[in-house]
Amino acid sequence: MKLSLKKCHFPYSEPKALGHVVSGLSLGIDKNKVAAVLLKPMPQTKKEMKSFLGFAGYYRQHIKDFAKIAKSLYKLCDQQTVYEMTEERVKAYEELKNSLTNAPFLLMPDWKLPFKLYIDACGEGLGAALHQTQIINDKPVEGPICFISRQIKPTRGRYGAIQMECPYLVWALEKLHYYLDGTVFDVIKDCNSVKSLLNMKTPNRHMLRWQIAIQEYRGNMTIVHKSGNIHKNADGL
């Protein structure tokens, strides 16, 4: 491997790379990159909206509520949808811009410390937030490692607690497998459905598949119930 000294920069405590600001403790969004996009006028065509959503989606791990916020904008880009920036879509566009502007720095994971996985599923979407408590400036600080989210099919909203919560816990575990495989972590939920699933003696074929997927992590995973009124980390992502 050869390096060009003209392209190397020494020393930098927080270098910028691939649209991010990187330090030994955290990963942030390069505000200069974001500002250049946010200064552009509101998209006037589907092509322009797709370009904006592609840019925003690149930083979705920094954005809480991404799937919920961007839902109406993605729908706008459907081939069958007439392009019209309604009040709802303008609000979503502005909210997504604001989320990019105020996106938090993400902690670099410390593999020696336990993680916390906050997860919640509702009719509007599925959200999960991976957190960790680290010692920063001699004080324990809990911060995000990453956010993940996805939309839920309308029919899912009519399902019971187990059919709502358990498959989406499996989705979150698989999505965050890189972080959670072999590490100790708590799953913070506002529903006891997972415990009910794991205690089932005769699950149907769908529930059996969920049981098997969750069992892979059970040796290092603790299910912690937290009531909905104080379970705010993932709600609505």
Summarize pLDDT for 71-116 with one digit per residue, the tens.
Answer: 999 999 999 999 999 999 999 999 999 999 999 999 999 999 999 9
Of 66, 184, 74, nearest in space to 129 by CA: 66
- 199: confidence class by pLDDT, cuts 50, 70, 90: confident
Residue in the structure block whose two tokens are 């989320």 = 99
87-92's contacts with Cβ under 8 Å and 24+ in sequence apart are 90/42
- CATH number belonging to domain 16-101: 3.30.70
List the structure tokens of 157. Answer: 């909203």
Summarize pLDDT for 123-141 with one digit per residue, the tens.
Answer: 567 889 999 999 988 899 9
- CATH number belonging to domain 109-230: 3.10.20.370
Residue 134 in contact with residue 141, Cβ under 8 Å? yes
Distance CA 220, CA 185 (A): 6
Q: In Å, how far from its chain's centre is CA 158?
A: 24
Summarize pLDDT for 29-46 with one digit per residue, the tens.
Answer: 999 989 988 899 999 999
Q: Mean pLDDT, the chain, as a whole number? A: 85
Distance CA 15, CA 4 (A): 17
Least confident of 95-109, 136-150, 195-209: 195-209
Distance CA 32, CA 183 (A): 36
CA distances from 15 to 29, 73, 101, 187 (A): 12, 33, 19, 33
Residue 130 in contact with residue 117, Cβ under 8 Å? yes
Would the pTM count as exceeding 0.85? no
Least confident of 86-100, 153-167, 213-227: 153-167
List the structure tokens of 56. Answer: 């925003």
* SS3 category, 147: strand
Residue in the structure block whose two tokens are 């149907």 = 204
**Range 202-221 average pLDDT:** 83
Residue 144 in contact with residue 79, Cβ under 8 Å? no
Of 148, 114, 132, nearest in space to 221 by CA: 114
**Per residue in 196-235, is it b (16+ CB within 10 Å) or e — as a string?**
ebbeeeebeeebeebbebbeebeeebebeebeeeebebbb
- pLDDT at position 108: 94
- pLDDT at position 161: 58
- pLDDT at position 200: 75
Domain ranges of the chain: 16-101, 109-230
